[in-house]
A and B are shown apart, each in its own frame.
Chain A
C-alpha cells in the first residue's frame, strides 16, 4: 500500500516538472543565499578569532612608544627587572606578510596558540629562522624563512620566536610590550622606568571583530532577506502542489488509504524533496561564497585592516544552519497544508480552489498584523538604541510592508475597478483582484527584493557621494610626504619654507580623550584648510579660533561617542580644555580625532615633530624629484594624492561589489517567484478564462491581458516598494550606521536610479509573465471547451 501510494504521490511531480523545479529551486535559492552569506561570515569570524588567538590583540594592555614604533630591547629588561611583567613583541612586514615575533616563555598566549609538531621547538636558539604560518602566508614568505605550516595561524600573519624575527628583519629592538594580566604587588611608576612608553589599555585597541560587525550584520540582513524571498517561493509551491493534489488525495482516501498513512507519506515526500533542495542550496551557497569571498576579504582588509582568509572551508555552523533553516521553513509551510488535508472532509470538492475563496478573512487578519508591525516600527524609530533593535526595526518595517501590500493592492484595484466603464476592463480589474491572493506571496517577494534594492542603492550611492566629497576635502594637497625622523622632517620644512611652497605639516599622536582612544592632530592652519574643509556643524571663524589655539575641531566619531557637539568643552590634555569649534565628517575610520593648531600641539607634545606633510603643487612629479634630490627623502615616502584617492575608492567599490551581487540575486529570485506563481496559476485559470473566451475575447487578447495584468501588478508593487526602500535606507544610514560605525551618513535621493530599478523589476516580471501568457495564447480551443464538457 505504502509503495503504491508513494508512486501515486510522486507521479504528480513527474507530470508537473515545473512545480518540482520551483519547489527545489526555491529551497535551493533560499538555502544557498543564506548559507553562502553565513559561509562568508563564519570564514571571516574564524579569521578574526585566529588573529585574536595569534596576536592576543584586544585582550591585553600594552606598552607602546610615545613616538615612533620601536622600543629598545634593553627597556624590556629594565622593565622586567623593575617588576613590570611585560612580554616583548616585534611586529614587522616581510613580503606583505605580517611577521610577529614573540617570546613564548613570557608571552601570555605562548606562541599565539601554535602547537608545534612533535620534535620541533618553538624557540630558535640557534641561527635558524623558524616561523609558523598558514599555507598562503608560507607561500608569500617563500625562501625568506623556514616556515612550518600551521593552519591555526591567522591569515596574512606569520609568528615565530622573537629572536628569529629579529634576525629575519635585521632589527635588534621591539615593537610593543604586552602587559601581563597579573602584576606583582609593588611596582615603580612607569614614567620613572620607561618615560618613552605609554600604556594602551586593551579595550581601546580597536577590536577587529567589533569593527567588522556591522559589515557582517549587513550581509546577514541580506542573507535573511534572500532566505525569506526563497521561502515565499517554497510556501507558494507547497500550497499549489496541495491544491492540485486535492483530487488525488480524496481519491486515494476513498479507495481505502487511512488518513494517517497518507499524511505521513506526504510529510516524508515533501521533506525528502526539501532535503534535496537544501543540499543543492548548500552547494550553491558554497559556490557563491567561494566566488565572493576574495572580494569580501579585500573589503575587510581595505576598510579595517582585518585579515580574512580568501579561501573557504566547509564549516558546520553555516551549512548546518542553512539546512536546518530550510527544513524548518518547509515544515512550517507544510504544517498548515497538512492541517488542511487532515481536516478536509472526504467528500469535499476535489476541484482546486486556488486559494481564491479564502480571501476576505485572511486579508483582514493580514491587515491587522501589518498594522501591528508597522506601528512597532514607528515606536522603534523613536526608542531604538543599539544594533539589535535597529535590525528589529528593519524586520518590522519589511515584513509589515510586505504584509500590507496585498491589502493595499486590493483596495487600489477595487478603486480602479469602480472607475472602469467598459465591461472587458471591469472584468479585467475584478479578475486581477480575484487573483491577488494567489499571487500575493510572489508579489511580496518582489516587493522585498525591490525595496531592498532601492534601500541598498540609496545607501551605496549616498555613501559614495559623501565619501568622494570627504576625499576631496581631506586629500586636497596634491602630494603627501612621510618624514621618518625629526631631522628629515625639519629638513623638509626648511626646504618648503625656502621655496615658498604651501605646506600642511601634520603632527599626530594617540591619546585619551573622554575615555576614548583618540588621535590628536596638530595642523598649520592655511588657506587649503579654510577652503576645502566642510563641517557637519560649525560656529563662525572656526579656523581663526583653531589657529589661535582657542578651539579644536573634532570628528563625528568622537562627537557622537562622547556626546559632544559644537560649543561643548573637551579636555584635550590634563591642563587644557577647549571648546569645539566644528564637527567634521570622517568616513571609513573608526577612531575619534581632534584637530588643533600646530603651536598648541607643540606645547602639549614638545618632543613631537611633523611626520606627514601635505604639499600644494601644480607639478607633482617635478616637486617629488626635487624633494628626493634636495632633502633626501625616499620617493616611496611620497604619495600622489590621486593614488590615495583611487586606493580609497577602490576599497569602497569592493565593499559594494558584494552587496550589489546579492541585490542582483534577490531580484532574480523575485522574478523567479513571479514566474512560478503565474505558471501554476495559469492552469487553474483556464476555467475562469474559458467563459470570457466563449463570449468572444480571443486567446491572443486574453494572453495580452494576462501580461498586462502582471505588469500592472508589478508597477503597483514598485510604487509601493519605493517608500519602503527609502525607509529601509533611512534606517540603515541614520540608525544602523551610527550604531555600527559611529557616524551618520547624509541621505541622498537618486530618482533615476530608482527608475532604472523599476525598469529592471518590470523587465523581470515581463519575462516571468511572458511564458504563461504565451501558453495561454497557444491553449487549444479543445482544452477551453473541456471546461464546459465536464466538471474537472
Chain B
C-alpha cells in the first residue's frame, strides 16, 4: 500500500497548488533517507514518526455493521509530509500534517480533512504511549493494541474503541515493500486484526456499530516511477479468517505492477511478487464526473482466490484537496467477506 504514499508524493504539487500552498518539494530530495531492504523495526518507536523520510501515514479503515445488520465503512488517516528531513521547533518545522476522515453508509459518503504545521503541537504522533493527533482528532492508547479513535467533520463524527486480536503483519520482504520494477520501495506493516466498536454520529442521528479494522503503517521518500499513473489497492478480510492485501500500480503502457500479501488467520504472511495477484475491472461507475471501476474480479491463483469485489456504495469519492476513491467492498466468489478498496489516479 505504499503505492498510495508514492502517489501522493507525485500528486502533492498539484494538490498543494489547489490548496494555495505550492512549492512544497522545493528542498532537495537527496537529503531524505530512503528505505533499504532487510529492515529491522524497533517497536514501539517505529509506531512514531520518521521525520527523515519524506512521507508517512497512519491509515485506518474499518468495515462495520449496526444492530440491524446495515453495513458501514470508516476511514481515518493521518499523513505526514516533510519539506525537508528532520524536525525543528515552532513554525520553523519542515513537517506538514494532514488528515482525512470518512464514513460510508449504503447511500451516503461523508468525508472531511484537516491540515496542520509541525513543531507547534497542533498535530503529531508519539510512540509510547501511542498517540496520533491532529486538532481534536485522535488515535491513542496505552499501546498499539488498545486504541481509541475519534474524528469529526461539519456533518458527521465517530468515537470508536479498537482491540487488536492478532499480531502485526509485515508486507513485502519483512516490511520492505517494492513498488516498481525499478525498485522504488517503502517500509510497510499493518495491524489487520482489530475488533472495533463505537458510535457513528450521522446527519440522521447516532448509530452503535461494530466490526473489523485494518491499520496500515507506511513511510518512504521515493516517488512513484514516472510511468505509473495510479493504483488500485485492496484489503480483503475473508469470512474464513484469512486476509489478503493486494495492489496493482497501473502503468502508462497499459500493464500493471502488482504485489500481495496473504495473511493466515494466525497472522503468518506469504508475500507474492509482481504478477501473482490480478485485479480486473468488471463494471464502471460515473463518480464525480469520471468513470471508475467499482466492480472488480480479483484473483490470487496460488491461493485459489477468484472473487468479485463490489463497492458497497459506489459514490465513495473523497472530494478533498487530494481526490481519490476509498470505500468498503463486499466479496463474493471463491471466498466471501468484506474489505476496503482504494483507487487513485482516475483524474
Which residues of A are in contact with B by a Cβ distance under 8 Å?
Answer: 73, 76-77, 80-83, 85, 103-107, 109-111, 113, 115-116, 118-127, 161-163, 166, 182-186
B152 touches A125 (CB 8 A): no
How many residue pairs link A and B with beta carbons under 8 A? The number is: 95
| A77 and B120 form a contact (CB under 8 A) | yes
B154 within 8 A of A: yes
Q: List residues of chain B with CB within 8 A of the CB of A119.
A: 23, 26
Decide yes or no whether B227 CB sits under 8 A from chain A: no
Shortest distance in angstroms between B316's beta carbon and chain A's nearest beta carbon?
Answer: 20
Output the least CB separation between A146 and chain B (Å): 15
In the complex, are the beta carbons of B21 and A105 less than 8 A apart?
Answer: yes
* Chain A residues near B157 (CB-CB < 8 A): 184-186
- In the docked arrangement, what's the CA distance between A700 and B21, Å? 81
Residue of B nearest to A83 (CB): B136
Quick one: which of A76, A105, A166 has the most chain B CB within 10 A? Answer: A105
A-B contact pairs, 30 of them (CB 8 A): A76-B122, A77-B121, A80-B122, A80-B135, A81-B136, A83-B136, A83-B152, A103-B91, A104-B20, A105-B21, A105-B96, A105-B117, A106-B117, A109-B20, A116-B23, A121-B22, A121-B24, A122-B21, A122-B22, A122-B23, A125-B88, A125-B93, A126-B92, A162-B91, A166-B91, A184-B153, A184-B157, A185-B152, A185-B154, A185-B155
Whether A182 touches B122, Cβ cut-off 8 Å, given contacts A123-B83, A125-B92, A163-B90, is: no
Bound Cα distance from A115 to B18, whole angstroms: 11
Chain A residues with CB under 8 Å of B120's CB are: 73, 76-77
The 4 closest A-B pairs by CB, nearest first: A110-B20, A163-B91, A83-B136, A104-B21
B201 lies within 8 A of chain A by Cβ: yes
Q: Quick check: is B84 within 8 A (CB to CB) of the other chain?
A: yes
- Establish whether residues A185 and B26, one from each chain, have CB atoms under 8 Å apart when the complex forms: no
Interface string of B63-90 (1 = CB under 8 A from A): 0000000000000000000011000101
A121 pairs with B154, CB closer than 8 A: no
B133-168 CB contacts (< 8 Å) to partner A: 133, 135-136, 152-157
Q: Could you tell me the dominant secondary structure of chain A's interface residues?
A: loop
User: Which of B88, B91, B133: most chain A CB closer than 10 A?
Assistant: B91
Alpha-carbon distance A726/B13, docked complex (angstroms): 63
> A83 contacts which chain B residues (CB < 8 A)?
135-136, 152
Task: Give the chain A neighbours of B117 by CB distance below 8 A.
Answer: 103, 105-106
List, in ascending order, chain B residues with CB within 8 A of A126's CB: 92
Name the residue among A122, A124, A127 with the largest chain B CB count within 10 angstroms.
Answer: A122
Interface hub of B27, B93, B121, B153 (most chain A Cβ within 10 A): B121
Which residues of B have CB within 8 Å of A103? Answer: 91, 117
Q: List the A side residues contacting B91 at CB < 8 Å.
A: 103, 124-125, 161-163, 166
Tell yes or no: B116 within 8 A of A by CB: yes
Contacts of B94 in A (CB 8 A): 125
Residues of B within 8 A of A115 (CB): 22
What are the residues of chain A within 8 A of B22 when measuring CB–CB? 115-116, 121-122
Smallest Cβ distance from B8 to chain A, in angstroms?
Answer: 16
Chain B residues with Cβ below 8 Å from A120 are 23, 26
A122 to B92, CA, bound (A): 12
B157: nearest chain-A partner, CB-CB:
A185
Closest CB-CB distance, B17 to chain A, in whole Å? 8
* A162 (CB) vs chain B CBs: closest residue: B91
What residues make up the interface of B, taking CB atoms closer than 8 Å to A? Answer: 19-24, 26-27, 83-84, 88, 90-94, 96, 112, 115-117, 120-122, 133, 135-136, 152-157, 201
Report the bound CA distance from A121 to B81 in whole Å.
15
Query: Complex Cα distance A186/B94, Å?
Result: 31
Of all chain B residues, the one with the shortest Cβ separation from A74 is B121
Q: How far is the CB of B116 from chain A (nearest CB, A)?
A: 7
CB nearest to A115 among chain B residues: B22
- State whether A81 touches B26 (Cβ < 8 A): no
Which residues of chain B come closer than 8 Å to A81, judged between CB atoms?
Answer: 121-122, 133, 135-136
| Residues of B contacting A116 in the complex (Cβ-Cβ under 8 angstroms) | 22-23
Q: What's the least CB distance linking A184 to chain B, in Å?
A: 4
Least distance between B285 CB and chain A CB atoms (Å): 28
Q: Chain B residues near A110 (CB, 8 Å)?
A: 19-21
Please name 20 further chain A to chain B contacts, defined as beta carbons within 8 Å, in addition to the given A125-B93, A162-B91, A185-B153, sorted by A numbering: A76-B120, A76-B122, A80-B122, A103-B91, A104-B21, A105-B21, A106-B115, A109-B20, A111-B20, A119-B23, A121-B22, A124-B91, A124-B92, A125-B92, A161-B91, A184-B112, A184-B136, A185-B152, A185-B154, A185-B155
What's the least CB distance linking A73 to chain B, in Å?
7
Bound complex: CA of A127 vs CA of B94, how far in Å?
A: 12
Which chain A residue lies CB-closest to B117?
Answer: A105
Q: Which residue of B lies closest to A164 (CB)?
A: B91
Residue of B nearest to A112 (CB): B20
Q: Which of A83, A103, A125, A185: most chain B CB closer than 10 A?
A: A125
Chain B nearest CB: distance from A32 CB in Å?
41
Bound-state Cα–Cα, A82 to B135, Å: 7
Residues in B whose Cβ lies below 8 Å from that of A80 = 116, 122, 135-136
Centre residue among A126, A161, A184, A185 by max chain B CB count within 10 A = A184
Q: How far is the CA of A73 from the CA of B89 in the complex (A)?
A: 13
CB distance from B151 to the nearest CB of A (A): 9
Closest to A172 in B: B90
**Distance A778 CA – B133 CA, assembled complex (angstroms):** 97
Complex Cα distance, B97 from A105, in Å, reads: 9
Residues of chain B lying within 8 A (CB to CB) of residue A113: 20
Residue of chain B at shortest CB distance from A79: B135
Residues of A within 8 A of B201 (CB): 185-186
Query: Which residues in A have their C-beta under 8 angstroms from that of B20?
Result: 104, 107, 109-111, 113
Q: Which residues in B have their C-beta under 8 angstroms from that of A107?
A: 20
**Cβ of B115 to closest chain A Cβ, rounded Å:** 5
**B152 (CB) vs chain A CBs: closest residue:** A184
Closest chain B residue, CB of each to CB of A122: B21
> What is the CB-to-nearest-CB distance from B117 to chain A, in angstroms, rounded to a whole number?
5
A82 engages B90 (CB within 8 Å): no
Chain A residues whose C-beta falls within 8 Å of the C-beta of B133 in the assembled complex: 81
B23 close to A182 (CB less than 8 A): no
Q: Given A80-B116, A127-B92, A162-B91, A121–B26 Cβ distance below 8 Å? A: yes
Cα(A423)–Cα(B153), bound, Å = 95
User: For B26, what are the chain A residues with a Cβ–Cβ distance below 8 Å?
Assistant: 119-121
Measured between beta carbons, the chain A residues less than 8 angstroms from B152 are 83, 184-186
A-chain residues with CB within 8 Å of residue B83 when the two chains form the complex: 121, 123, 125
- Give the Cβ gap from A260 to chain B, nearest Cβ, in Å: 56
Contact flag A121-B23 (CB < 8 Å), given A80-B122, A83-B152, A185-B155: yes
A73 to B122, CA, bound (A): 11
Quick check: B122 and A77 within 8 Å, CB to CB? yes
A107 CA to B115 CA in the complex, in Å? 10
A480 to B222, CA, bound (A): 64
Q: A121-B24, A122-B21 are in contact. Are A182 and B84 (CB under 8 A)?
A: no
B135 — which chain A residues lie within 8 A by C-beta?
80-81, 83, 85
Query: Inside 8 A of B115's CB, which chain A residues have their CB?
Result: 105-106
CB proximity of A107 to chain B, nearest CB, Å: 8
**Considering the chains assembled together, what is the distance between the CA atoms of A122 and B136 in angstroms?**
26
Chain B residues near A184 (CB-CB < 8 A)? 112, 136, 152-154, 157
CB distance from A193 to the nearest CB of B (A): 11
Q: Quick check: A123 and B88 within 8 Å, CB to CB? A: no
Q: Which residues of A contact B154 (CB under 8 A)?
A: 182-185
Which residue in chain A gives the minimum CB-CB distance to B18?
A110
Q: Closest approach, in angstroms, between the C-beta of A104 and any C-beta of chain B?
A: 4
Complex Cα gap A182–B115 (Å): 13
CA distance A111 to B157 in the complex (A): 30
Separation in Å of the B280 CB from the closest CB of chain A?
A: 39
B27 to chain A, nearest CB (A): 8
Bound complex: CA A124 to CA B91 (Å):
8
What is the bound-complex CA distance between A182 and B111, given in angstroms? 13
User: Which residues of chain A are within 8 angstroms of B136 by Cβ–Cβ distance?
Assistant: 80-83, 184
Interchain CA distance A103-B115 in the complex, whole Å: 10
A755 to B15, CA, bound (A): 69
* B residues less than 8 Å from A121 (CB atoms): 22-24, 26-27, 83
